[in-house]
Chain A
Amino acid sequence: MGPLIPNGIIPPEWDFVIALLIGIIFGYVLEASGFSSSRKLAGVFYGYDFVVLKVFFTAAVVAVIGIYYLDYLGFIDISKLYIHPTYLWAAIVGGIVMGLGFILGGFCPGTSLCAVAIGKIDAMAYGVGILIGVFIFSEFFSFIQPLFDGSNYGAITLVDTLGISPYWFIFLFSLVAIIAFVISDLVRKKVKKIFY
């Protein structure tokens, strides 16, 4: 049956409508769980609040378990899902830039827009920074292009690279997630509490 759009069950013309609806819900959930506070987001780097780690790890684990159950029951064809191609060095450099920006600014791009929506001034400055970054990237694109297009490994996944069964990988991944949650909780208890 699924995925719904590639199989023509939902026509692609609805993409924007669906994107808008999902965006509104996503923004609401981000705001409601306190992700529009840069102090909360940056807490993961200082060890006083691990909610970012917990939320994203939980989202990944729940999504991967759900998708594989749907695939097992025949509701979704995993082979038709989009896998973003791996550009190894571009991903490493981009990850470092993104991480630095995360520590310095206290937002990731999505949460910064969320915070702009509730009127945070630091988030507005962050938004302007994103635009400046986009401008610099575009202007220097011909210099960056070898890195941007280079070391393309195609749409590979960890399961292909490691050659293990996806089901075992998911099981181990869930265990790692739970261990990470426990350890992060222990760290949080050790670190001085910060009120924000």
Chain B
Amino acid sequence: MSKTYKYKKIIIRRRYRILAAILIILSGGLVLLPKYQKNVGIKPETFLLNLMSPERYISTDFLANSLISKDPSILLIDVRSAKEYSDFSLPNATNIPLSTILKPDNETYLDQDGYKVIFYSNDNFFADQAWLIAKRFGYNNIFVLKGGLNAWFNTILNPEMPKTSDSELEFQKYNTRKAAAMFFGIGAVNTLNSNAATPNIAPKKIILTKTKKKTTGGGC
């Protein structure tokens, strides 16, 4: 064996030892690093920004317009209890009570990109809570009906007559709302009473199939 060969052998052996040491140090570092709880969903900063923004609210007029024009992209979610839902609900709404919103089956409705999901309850109180939970998971396209069903009743089904001093615009809005009320089955406006039977149309159930997303398919 020549001298340079021996010398090279020593260098290579030393290189192997250094590489082995690096491996052990790096993997040992993983063990020793302080662990922290990782949270699913969006960052707290983004969450707070979303929380402050009123963009999540959809007005009753907008919703009425969408329902009348049969906008296929909206998905109404009723977050009240099943009994309240069966008593009265908006056309084609799906019932997901707030207490069951985290059930895996419901994820299909909330976590998708195809629909505008609109939560509503009697006011926007419970709907806002549902929105908070869903937003926390980073779901997109979720909204809240501003004022909930109470606002729906007061503005669409039983709109308040504008004062004579109000602008022309207010009267136009009133007429539109009266027409909408007729569309939603309230016969003649101003004669509304609690016994007026709303036409009992079986709600069209929107069934979404679970699409697997956000995982890479792969293999060797």
- State the A residues within 8 Å of B (CB): 3, 5-7, 61, 65, 68-69, 72, 80-82, 84, 165, 167-168, 170-171, 173-175, 177-178, 181
For A170, give its contact among B16, B30, B216, B218 (CB under 8 Å): B30
A82→B31 contact, CB < 8 A: no
Chain A hits for B26, CB < 8 A: 65, 69, 174
Number of interface residues of B (CB under 8 A): 17
A82→B24 contact, CB < 8 A: no
Chain B hits for A5, CB < 8 A: 216
B104–chain A nearest beta-carbon distance, Å? 15
Q: How far is the CA of A84 from the CA of B219 in the complex (A)?
A: 7
For B214, give its contact among A6, A61, A68, A181 (CB under 8 Å): A6
B28→A178 contact, CB < 8 A: no
- Give residues of chain B (162-189) contacting chain A, Cβ–Cβ below 8 Å: none
Chain A hits for B72, CB < 8 A: none
Q: Please, what's the 1-or-0 string for B1-44, where 1 marks a CB less than 8 Å from any CB in chain A?
A: 00000000000000010001001101110110100000000000
Chain B hits for A168, CB < 8 A: 31
B23→A167 contact, CB < 8 A: no
* B217 interfacial by beta-carbon distance below 8 Å: yes
Chain A hits for B195, CB < 8 A: none
* B215 interfacial by beta-carbon distance below 8 Å: yes
B24→A175 contact, CB < 8 A: yes
Chain A hits for B28, CB < 8 A: 171
Chain B hits for A178, CB < 8 A: 20, 23-24
B31→A81 contact, CB < 8 A: no
Q: Closest chain A residue to B26 by CB distance? A: A65
**Contacts A72-B33, A181-B20 hold; do A174 and B214 have CB atoms under 8 A apart?**
no
Q: How far is the CA of A72 from the CA of B27 in the complex (A)?
A: 13
Q: How far is the CA of A80 from the CA of B218 in the complex (A)?
A: 12
For B216, give its contact among A68, A69, A81 (CB under 8 Å): A81
B30→A167 contact, CB < 8 A: yes
A80→B214 contact, CB < 8 A: yes
B220–chain A nearest beta-carbon distance, Å? 8
Q: How far is the CA of A84 from the CA of B23 in the complex (A)?
A: 26
B111–chain A nearest beta-carbon distance, Å? 14
Sample of 6 more A-B contacts, CB < 8 Å, known A80-B216, A82-B218, A174-B27: A81-B216, A171-B31, A173-B27, A174-B24, A177-B23, A181-B20
Interchain residue pairs with CB less than 8 A apart (30): A3-B216, A5-B216, A7-B214, A61-B23, A68-B30, A69-B26, A69-B30, A72-B30, A82-B215, A82-B216, A82-B217, A82-B218, A84-B218, A84-B219, A167-B31, A167-B33, A168-B31, A170-B27, A170-B31, A171-B24, A171-B28, A171-B30, A171-B31, A173-B27, A174-B24, A174-B26, A177-B23, A178-B23, A178-B24, A181-B16
B73–chain A nearest beta-carbon distance, Å? 20
Chain B hits for A174, CB < 8 A: 23-24, 26-27
B138–chain A nearest beta-carbon distance, Å? 11
B30–chain A nearest beta-carbon distance, Å? 4
Q: Closest chain B residue to A3 by CB distance? A: B216
Q: How far is the CA of A178 from the CA of B26 in the complex (A)?
A: 13
A73–chain B nearest beta-carbon distance, Å? 10
Chain B hits for A167, CB < 8 A: 30-31, 33
Chain A hits for B33, CB < 8 A: 72, 167
